Structure 1
């Protein structure tokens, strides 16, 4: 009796498929956790980046204040220079005035000596007159023996009288000059005291200006040191976050390799089992019909935006659109565009709710992305078939209306721009 091998082959293929299904669950949870951790690190990096920008703005503000301080320091330095110049000038004036005082003192001493000598002469004359008695001018003239003697006597008397008058005149002038020089001396001494007081005031002002300058410099250095320290801490934290992010990316890449292997095992098991059963769309009558070939349309609806450069509907800026948009009502079934394994399911930045499916098709790895979902019907590690419902269409994240944003990437998904291809090269609308 000939035994049919078909049931055994089906059993082996089914066993291989079950094993393939069991493997991803452990790693999928890890990948989801890693991506959540990555999202947290990215948020931390963004937060640190914002803080660094704020610190940079604060630094610019402080730099403006520092410029004011530097201007003040420059102004004070100029004042110090002017004060030093004034001190030098007053010091020179004091030196000149001191020399003038010494000269006046010497002149006064010399003049006083002349006056004293003249006083002594006058005193001698007075004592002579007192000893010999008073002789009048007329007695001297009348005592002449002849006319010639008269003339001689007259000349002698006039000479003596002129000498006396000159002595008295010079004595009066010297005494007046002496009093004037004494007054000048006192005035000069007062000027000297005033200049010395001015010098003391300038020196006090100079010390105050130097102290103010030193305080400003200390303040400036303290600000610079504080800013540099705070910025360094932020930059170190940011570098640590970058290192952590790189480490998480490496772990994610490792987990994705595991998932890719799972996808390859799935494809091998599917081909071995020759699974041609009907596909479960799980989404009701509005799910799209499953196309022949490796790929099928992910959802029914209106084609609203193509792949390529466009004006972004929210920012209004000219940006590249890395997928296509299909619009329909909320909850419209979204199906997997090809057989694969779910590599991400959850919220992701402006994508809102998103599902990513990794596919192995004829040895080539692809990742399809379904964004702005209202609901998610699968979890990370779930194996899905082409046309199987994985989500419901929605309006989450950076969206302006209910629609599906659909992307296809060659290789694993790293970011939108990496490995991005036009989905219309693979599916038909």
Structure 2
């Protein structure tokens, strides 16, 4: 941006120095046009920078909103992680309690296994005893082998006791084995459930940690982008400030250039005053009239043509369209060919046909630091060219009826600044001239 500013200023310096060296109407016009073009470029640059600043501010607000949303999500994840960690702690406490229970159960199982082993040993001994006695115990032979009734009763009681003991051993053995299987299955199921619960919670926590990490990474990216946007905005604001300063410099140069051109035009007019007076006299003689060119008034302005004042500035019934319409100038009627003069010292900025105006001349004046443009329309002839310096009262054209016109007359307008359309900066010409 600084390089561009220096380049623009160098261009201005070259344009200004060129105008001073050559001091010609075209050089003056080009110098001022260059300044105006550069001013327009700067205005466009200002608008572009302002648009970029607003766009960046919108992105900053959007990023800020995204960061707030993600931070809220991270907070929610933190709450979930804390709840999950609390659940994991509860499960670990349950596992610790279950471990204590398992130790007690293991002791019970060991005792039960010992009982089963002892019974297995006893049963094995009983089986061996049966095998030694021939493969089976005949309780009837035992009873019939009694020597007496008392011996029979003793033998019967012993047989019952032995049979009951065998049944009890078998029953207890079956019950203990079932109990062992039940306790073992219960232990395995409880351990599996706790391990499953622990694994699920650990998986959930890992997932939440990953989400939090991902969100944190996104926040880091957004914050980095936010910092870049803020840096860009600050840079654009600095650039805008530089453009503002440059705009002020160019505006000052434009004012100075207009004053310089006005001074050059004034001096040129003074140098040509006698010659122009002689020219006017010659034209008057040639036209056979001594009153066709109006007398030059004192002051900055003079009447642009002799004739009858037919229409003023403001709303009127339009003679062609037949309805109320704004009239942005005044009309002076006279015969075709009546001389038209420059209303003030200045530089010709336009001299050509223009739309419904017909043949048009525009003269840009710089009076007391104020730029004013006068317009002369419906001319039958144009006697000056663009860039030509003209003096107040100098013959520049002739009354006619070109363009949209109902008869020969001069349509005369004045605009503050430059002409940018009939309605732009238009003011009543009677502010400056007297009829």
Paired with 2:331 and 2:100, the residues of 1 have a C-alpha distance of: 110
Where do 1:25-424 residues align within 5 Å? Answer: 26=23, 32-56=29-53, 58-59=55-56, 62=59, 66=63, 69-70=66-67, 73=70, 77=74, 80-81=77-78, 84-85=81-82, 87-88=84-85, 91-92=88-89, 94-96=91-93, 98-99=95-96, 101-119=98-116, 122=119, 168=173, 171-172=176-177, 174-185=179-190, 187-188=192-193, 190-192=195-197, 194-195=199-200, 196-226=202-232, 228-229=234-235, 231-232=236-237, 234-236=239-241, 238-249=243-254, 251-252=256-257, 255=260, 258=263, 262=267, 266=270, 279=280, 289-291=293-295, 293-294=297-298, 296-299=302-305, 306=313, 324-326=329-331, 334-337=340-343, 341-342=345-346, 344-346=347-349, 354-357=362-365, 369-371=373-375, 377=384, 382=389, 384-386=391-393, 388-390=394-396, 404-407=411-414, 422-424=428-430
Compare 164-173 and 232-241 and name the one that shifted more. Answer: 164-173
Measured after TM superposition, the shift of residue 191 of structure 1 is 0.8
**Alpha-carbon displacement from aligned partner over 1:2-30 (angstroms, at most 9, x marks no partner):** xxxxxxxxxxxxxxxxxxxxx9x949777
TM-score if structure 2 supplies the norm length?
0.57
Measured after TM superposition, the shift of residue 255 of structure 1 is 2.1
8 A contact 1:97–1:192 mirrored in 2: no
The SS at the match of 2:186 is: helix
- Assess, with a 3 A threshold, how the Cα gap between structure 1 residues 244 and 293 changes in structure 2: closer, same or farther: closer
**Alpha-carbon displacement from aligned partner over 1:62-93 (angstroms, at most 9, x marks no partner):** 45864774477357536744663564356336
Paired with 2:218 and 2:366, the residues of 1 have a C-alpha distance of: 70
**Alpha-carbon displacement from aligned partner over 1:173-210 (angstroms, at most 9, x marks no partner):** 53133222343145236515742445444444443443
- Assess, with a 3 A threshold, how the Cα gap between structure 1 residues 423 and 132 changes in structure 2: closer, same or farther: closer
Measured after TM superposition, the shift of residue 44 of structure 1 is 1.3
Measured after TM superposition, the shift of residue 293 of structure 1 is 4.8
8 A contact 1:45–1:242 mirrored in 2: yes
Measured after TM superposition, the shift of residue 239 of structure 1 is 2.2
Measured after TM superposition, the shift of residue 217 of structure 1 is 3.9
Measured after TM superposition, the shift of residue 341 of structure 1 is 3.3
- Assess, with a 3 A threshold, how the Cα gap between structure 1 residues 181 and 104 changes in structure 2: closer, same or farther: farther
Which structure carries more relative contact order (alpha carbon 8 Å, separation 6+)? 1
Unaligned runs of at least 5 residues, structure 2: 1-19, 316-325
- Assess, with a 3 A threshold, how the Cα gap between structure 1 residues 354 and 381 changes in structure 2: closer, same or farther: closer
**Alpha-carbon displacement from aligned partner over 1:353-390 (angstroms, at most 9, x marks no partner):** 63134679xxxx9976313768572677846243x323
8 A contact 2:293–2:341 mirrored in 1: no
Paired with 2:247 and 2:149, the residues of 1 have a C-alpha distance of: 136
**Alpha-carbon displacement from aligned partner over 1:79-135 (angstroms, at most 9, x marks no partner):** 744663564356336524533552453243122233144346646866997999999
Paired with 1:403 and 1:74, the residues of 2 have a C-alpha distance of: 75
Unaligned runs of at least 5 residues, structure 1: 1-22, 309-319
TM-score if structure 1 supplies the norm length?
0.57
Paired with 2:81 and 2:337, the residues of 1 have a C-alpha distance of: 86
Paired with 2:385 and 2:308, the residues of 1 have a C-alpha distance of: 22
Aligned length: 373
Partner of 2:322: none
8 A contact 2:29–2:387 mirrored in 1: yes
8 A contact 2:413–2:428 mirrored in 1: no
